[in-house]
Amino acid sequence: MKYFGTNGIRGIPNEDLTTELSMTVGKAVSTYFNSKTIAVAKDTRISGDMIMNAVISGVMSTGTDVKYLGILPTPGLQYYCKKHNLPGIMITASHNPPEYNGIKCIASDGTEISEESEKEIEDLIDSKKFKKVSWKSSGRLYPESNAIDEYINGIMSLVDVDKIRDRKFKVVIDTGNGAAYFTSPYLLSKYNCHIVSLNANPDGTFSSRNSEPKPENLGDLISLMRSGNFDIGIAHDGDADRCVFIDEHGNFIDGDKSLALIVKYTVKNGDTVVTPVSSSDALSDICAEKNAKLIKTRVGAPIVARTMIENMAVIGGEENGGIIYGKHQYCRDGAMTLSLMLNLLASEKKTLSQLLNDIPDYTIVKSSVERRRGWEEIRKDLIERIDKKIDETDGLKILEDEGWVLIRPSGTEKIIRIYAESKSRDKAAELSNKYKSLLNELI
C-alpha cells in the first residue's frame, strides 16, 4: 500500500502527513463512500484539529455533510457509524507517539474498511478524480452530542450490570491523556465502581506517559496497584481501542493472557475464535479445551474483524489488548473489554490473579529492529539462513522446538517486529535475542 498501513494512514503532521494530503484524503474518502453524511471524531493529539479540519474541508468540498462527534474513542465512532448506518473518519494515530497522527476510514457497518477499499481510495488520491460540487451544494458541519451515551449504553446492554454494581469494584484507570479520558471513567461510574483515575485529562503531548500501554509506560498505575487495596487496574492506548489490565497485586497482565481468559469464559462448544498468527499458543490450548474452532490470520485488527464476520465468530482479538466482541461490534473496543472483564470477575467471584491461574503459562517476548532495507530482501535472506519449518501467513513465523518466533514488518512504523514465545521465559528471551542478532547482521 502507498498510503495505508495496518491501521489507516499515519505520519508526522507537516512532514509526511501534510494538510494538503489530509484534504486530498478527505476528498478521496468522501468520493469513495458517496454518502450524504460522514461521521468524524478525533483523539486528543495536538495536531488533531489541524488534520481533522483539513480532512473535513475535503469531505465538504464533495457536497457531503459532516456529523462531528468531538473527542471520542475510535470504537465509539465505530459504534455510532454502525448504529446510524453512516461511514466515518477517525483522526488518530492510536498508540503511536504524540508527534504522529493518522486517518482511519470506517465503513457504515462500523468496521474498518477492507484492503480492497483502501486500494480504491489510494487510486482516487493519485488520480484526483474527486466528486466536485458548486458552492451552493457544499457540505455542512453538524455537531453531534449523543454519541457518548449511545456508545456507553450499547456496551452496558451486553453485561450483567446489576451483578457488577453489587461488587462495588475498586478500580484504578489510566487513560493516558487519550480519547477515553472521559468515557471510561464515566462508564465505570455507571458500574458503581470506586474509581481512582490517572491521566484522565486530554493532553495532546501525552506528557504523563507514552501512549502505548506497555509495562514500562505504566509505572504509576502499577505502583498505585501495589500500594493500595484495589481490585483491578486498567489502561488504554491513545484511541482506546485497546485495554490492558493490572491484577490486584500490581502485576501487569499480558494482552494474550487477558484475551485467553475472556475467551475461556465466553466461548461455548462449536464457537469460532479468530486471532492473528502473533497470538499466544495459550489461546490454542483454551480453544481445544472448549472445543472451539480457532482461525489464525495475518496481523491487523481489520483482518481479524472481517474474518470474524465471514465465519460468524463470537470473539476474536490480538495479543496487544485489542479484543473484538462480535455481539457488540466487529472492532477492537477497550471499553467493551473492560466491561467483559468486570462481568467475568463479578460472575466468578474470584480475583483476577486467581482466574489467571487456570490459563496456560506461555511467555511472549517482543522486540524490534530498525528497517533499513526493503522487507522482501530481508525476507529472502532470512529464509536462506533458517533451517526450521516456516509459516508465511504473515511475515515469517519460525517454528522452533520449544516455541516460535514471528518476524514481520510493522504496518505503522519503519521497524521490523520480533515476537518470540515459549513456555519458558528464558527460552523466549533466548529466541528473541537469537533472531534479533540475526536481523541486525542481515540489515
**Amino acid of residue 104:** K
- Is 4 domain-assigned? no
Look at residue 107 in the predicted model and tell me its pLDDT.
97
Same domain, 169 and 291: yes
Within a domain: 344: yes
Cα 284-286-291 angle, rounded to 5 deg: 90
pTM recorded for the entire structure:
0.92
Residue range(s) defining the domain that contains residue 83: 9-145
**CA of 263: how far to CAs of 123, 130, 428, in Å?**
39, 44, 24
346, 385: one domain = no
Q: Is residue 399 part of a domain?
A: yes
126 and 49 in a common domain:
yes
- What is the grid cell recorded at 20? 494538503
Same domain, 193 and 288: yes
Catalytic residue among 35, 94, 279, 432: 94
- How far apart CA 172 and CA 175 sit, in angstroms, is 10
274 domain-assigned? yes
Residue 1 falls inside a structural domain: no
Q: What sections of 272-333 are H helices per DSSP?
A: 281-290, 301-311
Contact 431, 405 (CB under 8 A): yes
- Whether 2 is covered by a domain: the verdict is no
Q: Look at residue 3 and tell me if it is in a domain.
A: no
Residues 206 and 222 in one domain: yes
Domain final residue, candidates 115, 145, 175: 145
Among 114, 145, 176, the domain boundary falls at: 145
Q: Are residue 50 and residue 116 in the same domain, yes or no?
A: yes
- Confidence (pLDDT) at 414: 86
Residue 258 belongs to some domain of the structure: yes
What pLDDT score was predicted for residue 371?
92
- Which residues contact residue 421 at a Cβ distance below 8 angstroms, ignoring those fewer than 6 apart? 280, 281, 362, 363, 364, 365, 403, 404, 405, 428, 431
117 is catalytic: no
Nine-digit cell string for 144: 453531534
- Same domain? For 71 and 133 the reply is yes
Q: What per-residue confidence (pLDDT) applies to 413? A: 80
Three-class DSSP labels, 9-30 = EEECECCCECHHHHHHHHHHHH
Question: 136 and 227, same structural domain?
Answer: no
Tell me the C-alpha distance between 425 and 242, whole Å.
25
Residue 440 identity (one-letter amino acid): N
Length of the chain: 443
Q: Are residues 93 and 206 in the same domain?
A: no
Q: Please state, in angstroms and rounded to a whole number, the distance separating the CA atoms of residues 335 and 75.
A: 8
Number of domains in the chain: 3
CATH, residue 202: 3.40.120.10
Q: Which of 83, 117, 145 is the last residue of a domain?
A: 145
Q: Are strands 170-174 and 232-236 parallel, antiparallel or unpaired?
A: parallel
Give the pLDDT score at 210: 94
Q: Do both 175 and 218 map to the same domain? A: yes
Using a 10 angstrom Cβ sphere, with 0-12 exposed, 13-18 middle and 19 or more buried, the burial of residue 165 is middle
pLDDT (0 to 100) of residue 252: 97
CA distance 25 to 101: 14
Residue 210 shares a structural domain with residue 314: yes
- pLDDT of 6 reads 76
CATH number for the domain harbouring residue 433: 3.30.310.50
Rounded to whole angstroms, the Cα distance separating 48 from 74 reads 13
* Residue 7 pLDDT: 82
56 plus 14 within the same structural domain? yes
Alpha helices in 42-176 (DSSP H): 48-60, 74-84, 115-127, 147-156, 161-167
Per-residue pLDDT 10s for the chain (443 aa) are 899 987 899 999 999 999 999 999 999 999 999 999 999 999 999 999 999 999 999 999 999 999 999 999 999 999 999 999 999 999 999 989 999 999 999 999 999 999 999 999 999 999 999 999 999 999 999 999 999 999 999 999 999 999 999 999 999 999 999 999 999 999 999 999 999 999 999 999 999 999 999 999 999 999 999 998 999 999 999 999 999 999 999 999 999 999 999 999 999 999 999 999 999 999 999 999 999 999 999 998 889 999 999 999 999 999 899 999 999 999 999 999 999 999 999 999 999 999 999 999 999 999 999 998 899 999 999 999 999 999 999 999 999 999 999 999 987 788 999 999 999 999 999 999 999 999 999 88
